[in-house]
Structure 1
Amino acid sequence: ERLNPDNPAEYETPDGWKRFEERPSVIVVKDADPVTITLRWTENGPVLPPGHRDIGRVTAPGHVAALAWTALDAADTSMSAGLWLMRSGGVEEALAAGALFVAPAQNLMLADQSRVAMQMIGRMPARSGAHQTLGRMPAPGWRAENRWQGSLPYTANPRFLDPRSGILGNTNNKTVERAFPLHVSFLWGDTQRIRRWQALMGDREVQTRESFIEAQLDTVSYTARSLLPLIGRELWFSGDPAPQGTAERRRQDALALLAEWNGEMSEHLPEPLIFTAWLRSLQDMLIRDDVGPLADAFTHPDPVFVERVFRDTEGAAAWCDIRQTSPVETCPEIARRALDGALLDLAERNGDRVESWRWGDLHEARHDHPVLGEVPLFARLV
């Protein structure tokens, strides 16, 4: 939102300057005086404080950031939708109940004795086709084409009903191929697991309770099976065995293990640890010379990005060249350097015997209770 330079209590709208809606909010602080803050709203939504996720650093002087979000709808009927859904007698009634759901948007899987369905529930903003950023980043809120124009009708939400195969599944993957503003999203949560799910479902003519349990417990990584042949294609065969204790021998031993690996992310194997460390190191090497310290924010490898680079999709192999050096580095060279760096780090933590490393030793998921987890008496219980 652009502030009025003559009156910072006003912001610009398509119809001129307008005063912020304001309300004081008192925050009670234990063992200290209460703190009073002023909350502000624009026609687009609540104004975010500059310190929220450091948003002030990317907000131009004389402007503030306001948030438009479907969950802020004062007429939210999501709770009513949930109650109706629980009382629904079949797929058709459940689909009708979904029309009342506002936020958060999600895919709803439904099944009764004869029908199956997947329905996206939740409101989608109605945006102008002339929106300056297509909703992908903050846009000037005083321009009419950037403002939400209400919500799209429920019928615009993707729906899949009784497919010929009889099988529906979702891994937060892309479900529709539609142009903006009916696109649903530019950023989908998954591009890999859906491939593995499709393979598991296609392995059988008839699915059973046991086959679904098997699919739920599956630990084979499609990412590993698809990326390893790409990033390691120039490295698999590297001549005679190098002397023990050298970086080259460690690389040869690791590649020998990966060459025979089926992608199973078992906690008892070294291969998942090697692959994951390699992929993380590789992505960091690909982007750090271009984005600098911002590379630290990309803690999770993006397999689609790495695949595009190593397939040189639309010239993406240019990411392999390190800008700050005179020679032009190739993707196989960067893959080798990344693997050597990852293996050196793992060796420092786990010893030199590559075959003795275990994925489960370094890949622990801890679910400590945010409050009681710090209390010695309860820590073991929660």
Structure 2
Amino acid sequence: MTGEKPPARNTAVVGGSGYPRQVRGSHLLQRLAIVVAAVLVVILVAGVALATVLVRRPLPDYGGETTLRILSSEVEVLRDERGVPQIYADTDTDLMRAQGYVHAQDRFFEMDYRRHVTAGRVSELVGENENALAADRVIRTLGWRRVAEQEWDLLSEESRALFEAYAEGVNAYLDSREASQLGVEYTVLGIVTDLGEVAPWTPIDSLAWLKAMAWDLAANNDQELGRATAVRALGGDVARVAQLYPAYPETQNLPIIPPPDATEPEATVEDASWPAPAGAVDAIESAYAAVQATPRLLGDGDGIGSNSFVVSGEHTVGGQPILANDPHLGISAPGVWHQVGLHCRELTTLCTFDVAGFDFAGMPGVIIGHNAELAWGLTNLGADVVDFFLERVYDDGTYLRGGERVPLTRRTETIAVNGGTDDSLTVASTAHGPIVSGVLPETAAANSSPVPDGSPSPGFGGYAVAMSWTALTPGRTGDAIFALNRAATAEDVAAAAALFEVPAQNIVFATTDGDIGYQAPGRIPVRQDVSDGPVPSDGSWPRPGWDGRYDWAGYVPAADMPRALNPEEGFIVAANQAVLPAGQGPFLTGDWDYGFRSQRLRERLTENIERGVNIDASLANELMNDEANPYAEALVPALLDVTVTDGFVREAVDLLAEWEEEGYQQDGDSAAAAYFAAVWANLLDLTFADDLPATLAPDGGSRWLVVVDRLLEDPTSAWWDDRRTINLVESRDEILLQALVSARNELTQTLGKDPGDWRWSQLHVAAPQHPVLGEGVPAVVSWFANPRPVGVGGGSSIVNATGWDASAEVEGRRDYGVTSVPSMRMAVDLANFDRSLWVNFTGVSGHPADDHYDDQLGAWAAGETFPWPFSRTAVEDAATSTRTLRHPG
């Protein structure tokens, strides 16, 4: 290894915060890692020289020449000082072959791990592990890879050729190397498991990754199942459940496409109201457990989203549009993105790509970036693409549908367990999709569960929950990637969007002709209007599967999906907020991100335009790093109104008064930001922990800000009363005071007695973890495999969206660690692409011993970016190495 890496979790770096809670499913191998790490420590101690050879053996050679028989002509791979590859070829298929080769060089273990996850074969890789087996059972039930196999025949002949070429490139790299040359992880895993041969890469391995993307970015799952779970916890009080899931505040935070008369948003929000279901079911809670067990390779929770905006050339330095994007995804090492340029030396009918941006290892093409005529960014649309159906099932293998008993569809899946006993799983499906309740044996449904009013009698059998999900219908998203890479106009974007079925994403774009636009793609279910049913028919609650009125009635036509081109205000912001005002356009969902990030970006852009400040890529990046805290703006005035007589507590409260004057900036050096975060977490616990189960504990995201903001208007709401205190009914101000006191005491213990010494970055630490050699391993292994943790500013629903979970604890202490991050940032200047900027979360390499494993993390944490060369001249000027891939002829 080169360079100095201090030990991970250095207390001088992270203060007393401890380990942040990881995204669920991201550490399936943790227990195995502890065993493996112990063996690895022995190796390290026994011989540093041997260890150095083992960990450096997989590192690729960026220079020199290689002969590949699969190529039709010579390919060049130029890399800059951060190892970012720019690939030049004469045919599209050679470009994809080279991209596959480069991905295998840089990140093959990551690719292999992902394909095991998406196929429900993690147990086959890691052996006996209860978390791995639970994940395998759920993914086999959903059938991710089965759907990917069906999608292959739907792709165009040209796309199939490109996917095949990509697989050829991966396999060309694998063919001459044993597992230990592909990743140090194989050396480690080989100590305790029998890995066997590394299987060749196939196009289906790539397509299956689209299912993982779609799952992690599917919205509304937690809200739909959460409402049903909350009904039971709240004694059937549907009105109180509604208070936990308020409507989107569209008069406060404008949608992506605002109404024509929108000027200044109002500060009031309409109350939500829901038709009342009678109750929830154990089957639903079992389904909830299955959803929770599914691995999240991109992350999940409130922090999973993105910022994007595009500004007309009328308001930019270069007179052409500026486009910015920063997807918010789970924290990991390496980060989820790889950087690449795919360039035809000459654009011909055989060679049609000249594109650069961010790609996924394992997937051909560029996912977010720009070509020579168009730039595009993606944010999660948040459409409701999943519905859960409560099914009446019988012991004879039938279920109730339309007044008749019809057979369940069944199949058997065998899950191989490395070194253990294979697991046999029977998957049952209804017309609505696979049954997800009971997949995990400990959560099997109980027949005595309460159900919605009007439900058929259980009789012999019981209830189960089936899942309808748009991604379980084969589609052509594989075609859409290439179409978007080649797009040049708004019409081209719309055509690509019609193919981009899952995951449903907002597309913002700009062209060198000066157009800026927005396009919503995605396969969106059409739900029938059931006005007299037991539950709403809008997808917000699990629905009765025996009532055909709740079945989907097809999908929204692509031509009807929302779009905008060159709006009068001169910019577009798409940051997971509502797309259109309620009641306009097709119904997409009622469960949006609540729009605080998007509104802040709108305000900053409007402010600059009104002041006559022309925007460039540097200013666009500055806007993406904005750290104004909307929670503080809503809550601090109420906190300062509370009477605090204790001088010890008053010392901390005084920080908030000063912070108000500073605009509530949640920067890493802020003492007030640290105190406010602790107050917020304690306030949520004091208000809701006595009423809700742990599965519904507030994570502190944007929904909870709206919930609490409304409760502040009702000082005697039942939510303020802490039912854990006997013979005492608390009011709002009593709970606010308790939160102030508890937060003061908490930070005194963790950060010190003097509030002036506190820093938000001491609590709020980004600590990316390797999926195998991550949390819970000996220090020497953690030092090697995990980038140095770094304290950061920002937070949940802040534009610099370094998310954290307000309900998380580690070893009995509250955990403020970062759980999701802006996984990359880019700002594209269409006046001169070489003036564009980008940064990745960690680095381009997936090898822990590689200098490029985490060489961008420091710049990312500081809000900095790097030049993004695109023209051949700029790429050559930036290049520090060239590898030539030659055809044997």
TM-score tier (shorter): 0.7 to 0.9
Structure 2 Cα separation of the partners of residues 275 and 253 of structure 1 = 13
Structure 1 counterpart SS, 2:410: strand
Aligned residue identity for 2:483: W
Report the equivalent of 1:232: 640
Instruction: Give yes or no for contact 2:510–2:517 (8 Å, CA) kept in 1.
Output: yes
Note the C-alpha offset of 1:355.
1.0
Shift in CA distance, 379/207, structure 1 to aligned 2, threshold 3 Å: same
- Looking at structure 1, the residues matched to 441 and 525 of structure 2 have their Cα atoms a distance apart, in angstroms, of 24
Query: 1:265-304, aligned counterparts within 5 Å?
Result: 265-291=666-692, 293-294=693-694, 297-300=697-700, 302-304=704-706
Structure with higher strand content? 2
CA-to-aligned-CA distance 1:301-328 (integer Å, 9 cap, x gap)? 511111101123xx88442234555554
Give the gaps of 5 or more residues in structure 2: 1-389, 450-460, 788-847, 854-889
Which amino acid counterpart does residue 169 of structure 1 have in structure 2?
V
Alignment of 1:1-382 (within 5 A): 1-5=390-394, 7=396, 9-14=397-402, 16-52=404-440, 56=444, 60=449, 62-74=462-474, 76-113=475-512, 114-130=514-530, 132-133=535-536, 134-179=538-583, 182-205=586-609, 206-209=613-616, 210-235=618-643, 248-261=646-659, 262-291=663-692, 293-294=693-694, 297-300=697-700, 302-312=704-714, 317-323=717-723, 326-373=727-774, 375-376=781-782, 377-380=784-787, 381=848
Bigger Cα displacement from structure 2, 342-351 vs 49-58 = 49-58
Q: Residue type matched to 2:495 in 1?
A: A
Deviation at 1:181, TM superposition (A): 9.9
Deviation at 1:36, TM superposition (A): 2.1
CA displacement, residues 142-190 of structure 1 (integer Å, 9 cap, x when unaligned): 1111111111212332222221011001221122223499431121124
User: Quick one: which amino acid aligns to residue 369 of structure 1?
Assistant: H
- Structure 1 contact 230–307 (Cα < 8 Å) conserved: no
- 1:329 Cα deviation from its structure 2 partner: 2.9
CA distance in 1, matches of 2:504, 2:707: 26
1:296 and 1:121 map into 2 onto residues whose CA distance is 31
Which residue of structure 1 aligns with residue 157 of structure 2? none
Letter of the 1:307 partner, please give it: D
Q: Which residue is equivalent to 2:292?
A: none
- Distance in 2, matches of 1:316 and 1:79, equals 54
Return the TM-score normalized by structure 1: 0.87
How far does residue 26 in structure 1 lie from its aligned partner after superposition? 1.6
Match of 1:245 in 2: none
Please give the secondary structure, in 2, of the residue aligned with 1:63: strand
Deviation at 1:361, TM superposition (A): 1.0
Shift of 1:296: 6.6
- Kindly provide the amino acid, as one letter, of the partner of residue 143 in structure 1: D
More divergent stretch after superposition (345-354 vs 181-190)? 181-190
Q: Quick one: distance in 2 between partners of 1:6 and 1:355?
A: 66
Greater alpha carbon shift after TM alignment, 189-198 vs 49-58: 49-58
Cα separation, 2, equivalents of 1:110 and 1:94 = 8
What is the RMSD of the two structures over their aligned residues, measured on CA atoms? 2.6
The share of aligned pairs that are identical, in percent, is 27
Distance 1:211-1:4 versus aligned 2 partners, 3 A rule: closer
Q: 3-state DSSP class of the match of 2:399?
A: strand
Give the AA of the match of 2:761.
G
Change (3 A) 1:2 1:339: same
Pick which of 189-198 and 347-356 moved more: 189-198
Kindly indicate whether the alpha-carbon contact (under 8 Å) linking 1:171 and 1:193 is maintained by their aligned counterparts in 2.
yes
Aligned-pair CA distance for 1:19: 1.1
Superposed CA offset, 1:61-115 (max 9, x none): 61111110001112x1111112111111112211121011211111111111321
1:47, 1:66 within 8 Å by CA — same for their partners in 2?
yes
1:276 to partner: Cα distance: 0.7
3-state DSSP of counterpart to 2:573: coil
Instruction: Report the number of matched residues.
Output: 367
Query: Could you tell me whether the CA contact under 8 Å between 1:78 and 1:100 is conserved in 2?
Result: yes
CA contact (8 A) 2:653 2:740 kept: no
Distance in 1 (CA, whole Å) between partners of 2:441 and 2:700 is: 19
2:707 is matched by which residue type in structure 1? F
Q: Give the counterpart letter for 1:211 in structure 2.
A: L
Which whole-Å CA distance do the structure 1 matches of 2:726 and 2:598 have between them?
A: 39
* 1:330 CA drift (Å): 2.7
Q: Distance in 2 between matches of 1:44 and 1:296?
A: 26
